[in-house]
Structure 1
Amino acid sequence: QNVKRTFFLGFCVFFFFVFYRYVQSLNDSINPLQQQSNDPVVKSSDSFVGVSNYETSYEFLTYWNRGVGFENDASIGSLKADLNGLDAKYITFEDDTGGWNNIRMAFEVFVLLAKLTGRILVLPPPCRFYLLDRGPIAVFTKDSSSYSTYSDYYNFEVLNSEIEIISTRDFLQREQKRIEIPEHLVREASVEFVRKSNGAHTDYFYWLRGSKDVKMWPSGPSYAEDFDVSQEPAKIHEETLILHFPMHVREGLRYLGGIPGLLRPFPFDHPVSVYSRKFIRYHLVYADFIWKAASRVIDVLGGPNAFVAAHVRRNDLQYKNVFIGAEGSIENMQELLQPKETMYLATDETAPGFFEPFKKRGFKVFTLQDIKKSNKHLWEDLGDIKPKYEGMIEQAVCSAARLFFGTPSSTFSSYTFRLRGYIHGLGPQSSCLYHTKKYTKEKFENTEPGSCTTSFKDDVLMWKP
């Protein structure tokens, strides 16, 4: 009898031990970081900090759902077309020829001017975006049938609450007879997508530039006076049916100054500047699935503010002077980091072992590919998230980090700094830091929050309410 009792107790102990290890292995497969360290997560007054739950992370990210919002300001009425009793008028534009963040910067300008002038925004025909649907890139293999349009990347439900947006096909159905566009160009521009890249000069756009119903704004380089909405030429929108924004590299027709460049003539507290910044902040936001996908990654990393992040651009960037080795980067950042801290790297570096110096100093280093490999079902409930969306997802992930170190002259980093301002507000976490610069705690404490040296100026002047 005693032998049976002893055997039974031994079996129970063995069973519960095996069950415990099984449950533990499941947890480890869901969050590989939890098995690596028992260090306490970073704490602050923010109630989101260190809460590892993707729904909480999503709530933390959705800055447009909290804050003061804005109301239409009558003081900017002089910039708005008086459409009472008049037919609708339009803004048309050509896609920027660069990568996503160049495309984004130009699109922000067109969206804002559609709001300020009371016009309908006409989207160009979908096409193949550079580095997303086509072009050389080492991170992922592109689908030859892939193409893009702006509603793929932005939350149009939020944006459509403020401005009317239509496709080129719908625009031509409405206005073909009035603008007298040839039938063959209507067919060219009304296809499901144009089998050309962004910025391609199609016959349709060449015709549009010369139409009697069209005025181009600007008529010269994007820094010309007639791109200044505070000047008299801004009223050209009252004189024409279609206000067109061309894209032509050799003629300087790109809008790489973005919203900061557009608002530069205005004092910070000018009603147009305040109104415009709030409009972009609360109504031009990435698509919801991007934030939800990012929240899953943030959850794996321990929750908002429980990790640091860096954007280390190494491949498709023309500013080679910002390229430094990993040893230099970690040496520059180390004094601001905590021992054995989790570090998320948004990078296009593909060389094996490149970031080994980070790991040798005890930091737990993860890229998006590491996390996806360890979490096979990371985004399973979100549908088919293609690799071309991962750049935006990584911007959202980096925006939730305790600190973020960017790459100088990078539009990816610049917009991430802006997102961090939207999310964290004015404070140390909204400081613009770069992995190429040496920091000390004293230097960091004396850094003005929200002050960026980047030429794109996505700093406090852009995101402060």
Structure 2
Amino acid sequence: LPPRRARNSGRPTRRRLCILIIIILWGILIALVVLRPHFAPHVMDHGGALGQILRSNFDRFLHEKTKSSSIDLPLVVEKRTLPSKQSPTSSRIERITKNKLIPKTQRGGTMRCNGRVVKDSEVVYWRDAGADAEEVASLSRLPKPKKEQFLTFEYDHGGWNNVRMGIECVFLFAHYTRRTIVLPPAQQLYLIAKQHEKRRAFGLADFLNVSLLSAHKGWRTKDMNSFIQTILQNNTQLSEPRELMGPPLWKFITSVSDKLLPPVSRKYFFFPNETVLPLRYNPKLLEKRHDAFIQGRTQLLYDDKLNSATHIHAPGGQDHRILMNFYSFAFFQDPRVQHFYRRFIRDYARYTDEIFCAADIVIRALRKINQTFYALHVRRNDFQYKVAKISAKQIIENLQGHTLIPQGALVYLATDDPSGKCTGCMADRKPCHKFPVGQKPTGCPEDTSWDAFYKHGWTVKKLGDFSTLLPHLNPNYYGMVDQVICARAKVFAGTYWSTFTGYIHRIRGYYGLGEDSYYHSGPKYLRVMQDKKNIGTGWVREWRAGWKDEDDY
């Protein structure tokens, strides 16, 4: 027989197999680097401000692959490389990924009250830029567009929370398409035009933390006056509108725009050239998410005509009202982009610090009375849904007596009818008080007072009971302060069809209290917030998709 080594020379040894496998793996890795543009194609000019961030995530994956056997990409755009097991922040990042409520001591959010930085307030649900320096740095390096494009928009013609919903959608649209937002001038808004510091006209900066938005380098704004002057300089034949507010202004802006934002009712935006990264692109999951998202709506394509328009204008009335939640406004194929915008709206499109500081003062005062408090929002007066305008006794019955709010509880009442007189309530175009007792129609409670709450054993408090603690608060902030206070209650019940209540539900979701939220408007609405369904369309309520990093089905 030949020597043993010669006899087996035709078979590769185990070492040779290992070397061969390593060479193949390196070949695959090099191929991925060379062919990366085919997997994650460059985003077209109109295709997504986050394209560069998403591609950098993929680059980071390729880099980390050479050092680690892990091939997991970050679950959300905000999250960059995973820390080592020894990292003290590892557990916090894991909680964010798994969508658990982050303890207030680890949220990293702060606010400034009377010049003092407050770090330990229970009203904070956001994360500050400094709390996640690496993440925020990556978000700040959004590429500038090759040419400046603009988006002008009118406020919705309804109440503040209708206005806010439209603003959030416009923010998302402008940020993703890298358009400069032209801020509407200060004006009198429906139901929030009470005089404060000798003025009744207020703008976006009075209610939302615009300085926080400005700190985000991916965010570009321009004031209306500067924008109009630029237009006049480029077209000397145009005449300046006679006033910078109301119909004259918006007539001028509409006439000089290149395109109007299409009506979005029963529709949703889709961006065809969105970057979808490999390893996260699951066709079956994408189809499932898409089917759950559209719910019979028609697709609005961000096509070349919209992309090439230098100036898009979004009207605020009639068919052009944007009455929907921002997370149902646009569908993104990569769920990480969808997750990013939930965080963007949560952390950057929030109320000004003055509102949260006022709410913090009242909540501290409530907890001195009783560490546990409950809350109700009762909408009346000019509310168009008559069946929701009910008596205190009916509210108790709808809440099933002491089932949700126990006897002896401290209850905070947020309402547009603090006196309990239903002064603005009408039916058949007739004030409710003009109907005979015992013959009042739907929408006109027989007993408009809040006496039934007290008889039920509740201690009821309203914002007016704490007015001495807030002597200089802008009265137009009262409703917004109410929302934050209600959001911190152990159990909250609001008015169905009310966007005011809806926003409370979303803020409660930010706090991790979304499942302890209810409606008092009737038995069939009581527990809709506990539905297993995560996302829906329209404006009548909020959904878990507004605050949860779960797939949208």
Is the TM-score greater than 0.5?
yes
- Give the superposition deviation at 1:47: 7.9
Shift of 1:387: 1.3
**Residue by residue, what CA displacement relative to the aligned partner does 1:184-234 show, whole Å, maximum 9, x if unpaired?**
32x522xxxx3xxxxx4x2332233233x521111xx32265844565435
- 3-state SS of paired residue (2:329): helix
Verify: 1:183 aligned to 2:231, yes or no: no
Q: Work out the CA distance in 2 between the residues paired with 1:451 and 1:433.
A: 16
Is the Cα–Cα contact under 8 Å of residues 260 and 462 in structure 1 kept in the other structure? yes
Point out the more displaced range, 92-101 or 327-336.
Answer: 327-336
Pairing partner for 2:389 from 323, 339, 364: 323
The structure with more radius of gyration: 2
> Secondary structure of the equivalent of 1:188?
coil
Unmatched 5+ stretches in structure 1 = 1-44, 49-53, 135-140, 195-199
Q: Read off the aligned partner of 1:223 and give its amino acid letter.
A: S
8 A Cα contact 1:340 1:363, kept in partner: yes
Alpha-carbon distance change, 238 to 299 in structure 1, aligned in 2, over 3 angstroms: same
Distance 1:446 1:239, change over 3 A: closer
- Where does residue 307 of structure 2 map in the other structure? 238
Structure 2, gaps ≥5 residues long: 1-101, 106-112, 273-299, 422-447
Check if 1:370 corresponds to 2:465.
Answer: yes
Measure, in 2, the Cα distance between the counterparts of 1:360 and 1:173: 62
Q: 1:341 maps to what in 2?
A: 409
Instruction: Give per-residue Cα distances to partners, 1:373-424, cap 9 Å, x unaligned.
Output: xxx2x024xxx3221110101001111110110100000000010011112x
Contact 1:73/1:275, CA 8 A, preserved across alignment: no
Q: Counterparts of 1:200-211 in structure 2 under 5 Å?
A: 200=246, 202-211=247-256
Give the counterpart letter for 1:247 in structure 2.
G
1:398 to 486, 495, 498: 486
Partner residue, 1:147:
201
Match of 2:455 among 360, 368, 382: 360
Secondary structure of the equivalent of 1:388? helix
> 1:93 and 2:158 equivalent?
no
SS in 2 for 1:243: strand
1:292 is matched with which residue? 357
CA 1:418–1:225: 2 relative to 1, 3 Å: closer
Which residue, out of 416, 419, 423, partners 2:507?
419
| 8 Å Cα contact 2:372-2:490 kept in structure 1 | yes
Q: How many residues align?
A: 374
Deviations 1:315-336 (A, max 9, x none): 1210111122111212333211
Q: 1:126 aligned to 2:186? A: yes
Residue 355 of structure 1 aligns to which amino acid in structure 2?
Answer: W
In the aligned structure 2, how far is the partner of 1:146 from the partner of 1:391?
16
Q: Residue 463 in 1 paired to residue 547 in 2?
A: yes
Distance 1:132 1:181 in 2: 38
Which residue of structure 2 aligns with residue 83 of structure 1? 145
Shift of 1:112: 1.3
SS of 1:148's equivalent in the other structure is coil
Q: Counterpart in 2 of 1:174? A: 230
- With over 3 angstroms needed to count, the CA separation of the structure-2 counterparts of 1:438 and 1:294, relative to structure 1, is same
CA spacing shift, 1:336–1:451, aligned 2, 3 Å: farther
CA RMSD in angstroms comes to: 3.6
1:258 paired to 2:320: no
Deviation of 1:93 after TM superposition, in Å, equals 0.8
Structure 1 contact 57–298 (Cα < 8 Å) conserved: no
Aligned partner of residue 365 in structure 1, secondary structure? strand
Give the direction of change, closer, same or farther, for the CA distance of 1:391–1:452 in structure 2 (3 Å limit). Answer: farther
Q: 1:215 to 1:72 in 2, by over 3 A?
A: farther
The alignment's TM-score, normalised by the length of structure 2, stands at 0.60
Kindly indicate whether the alpha-carbon contact (under 8 Å) linking 2:492 and 2:518 is maintained by their aligned counterparts in 1.
yes
The AA in structure 1 aligned to 2:515 is S
Alignment deviations for residues 57-97 of structure 1 (CA, whole Å, 9 cap, x no partner): 972111113797966999xx9xx99723x3x2211011211
Task: Work out whether residues 81 and 117 of structure 1, in 8 Å CA contact, stay in contact via their aligned partners in 2.
Answer: no
Check if 1:223 corresponds to 2:269. no
Is the 1:217–1:227 contact (alpha carbons within 8 Å) kept by the matching residues of 2?
no
Distance apart, 1:271 and its partner CA: 3.1
CA contact (8 A) 2:104 2:120 kept: no
- In 1, the alpha carbon distance for the partners of 2:503 and 2:228 equals 34
Query: Which consecutive aligned stretches of 4+ in structure 1 deviate over 6 angstroms post-superposition?
Result: 45-48, 54-58, 66-69, 141-144, 443-446, 449-454
| 2:126 paired residue number | 64
Residue 17 of structure 1 aligns with which residue? none
CA contact (8 A) 1:431 1:451 kept: no
More RCO (CA 8 Å, sep 6+): 1
Residue 437 of structure 1, CA deviation: 3.6
Give the CA deviation at 1:339.
3.1
Identity among equivalent pairs (%) = 29
User: CA–CA distance in 2 between the matches of 1:179 and 1:357?
Assistant: 65
AA partner of residue 101 (structure 1): N
Cα distance, 1:454 vs. partner? 9.2
- Tell me the CA shift for residue 127 of structure 1: 1.1
**Contact 1:421-1:450 within 8 A present in 2 as well:** no
Distance (whole Å) between structure 1 residues aligned to residue 415 and residue 200 of structure 2: 23
Structure 1 residues 258-286: Cα deviation after superposition (integer angstroms, max 9, x where no partner)? 313303x457x623321221111111010
Do the aligned partners of residues 246 and 305 (structure 1) sit closer, same or farther apart at CA in structure 2, a change above 3 Å counting? farther
Amino acid in the other structure paired with 2:322? Y
